[in-house]
Amino acid sequence: MRDFSKLEKKLKVKFENKDLIRQAVVHRSYLNEHPEFELPHNERLEFLGDAVLELVVTEYLYKNYPNPEGELTNWRAAMVNAKMLSEIAKDLNIEDFLYLSKGEAKDVNSKARQIILANAMEAIIGAIYLDKDYEAAKKMIKAEVIVKLPGILKHKLYQDPKSRFQEIAQDRVGVTPSYKVIEESGPDHAKHFVVGVFLKKELVAKGEGTSKQEAQVAAAAEGLKAKNWE
């Protein structure tokens, strides 16, 4: 039995309606295996929480930074994307409380798990909003999400990995990265690419994707890790 008081302590929120915090971590796959479960999945709460999160972050950026709309949009995206939200969810130990199918429960380090965690994070925000009010949700978002902004700005995490890798490579080694398709497979409607990112002749890292662009971005992200440039 999950002890949700531990999660409440992490969130610094005591729920009046305990079903809301439980529902926030119910993935659709769990109900496929447990149709008798007394609560619905978390997708409606996620829908609500996504809107609350975006409003709180947008309001904060608008009130605190005079930057143009385009820059603020990039900063907001860096704060509320699936990667960032899933990392925050892991810090809060939300993973320990998820209701998942047996298959999803085994799939620990996948992109799918990242999305499940990010969605649960948004659903929890929606649950706080419903159980308390906008101000309570705002307080939690400031403490867990907006607190990441200084690091995002310092390390320019609002840039996509390709832009970031290029900027750092030019600054530190005076070289503009190049990308080369190393492997291409699959039929036209389902192509798979492996792309390498190079600094002159040095193969720094490889990335995979369903398009050359996606594989290049993945390669740049791996390149940042390989060079310890993150």
- Catalytic positions are 50, 122
CA-to-CA separations, 23 to 4, 19, 90, 101, 131, in angstroms, rounded: 11, 6, 18, 15, 12
Burial class (CB in 10 A: 0-12, 13-18, 19+), 160: middle
207 is written with which tokens?
């990335």
Report the distance separating Cα 133 and Cα 137, nearest Å. 7
Report the distance separating Cα 122 and Cα 229, nearest Å. 30
What DSSP element (H or E) covers 208? strand 202-209
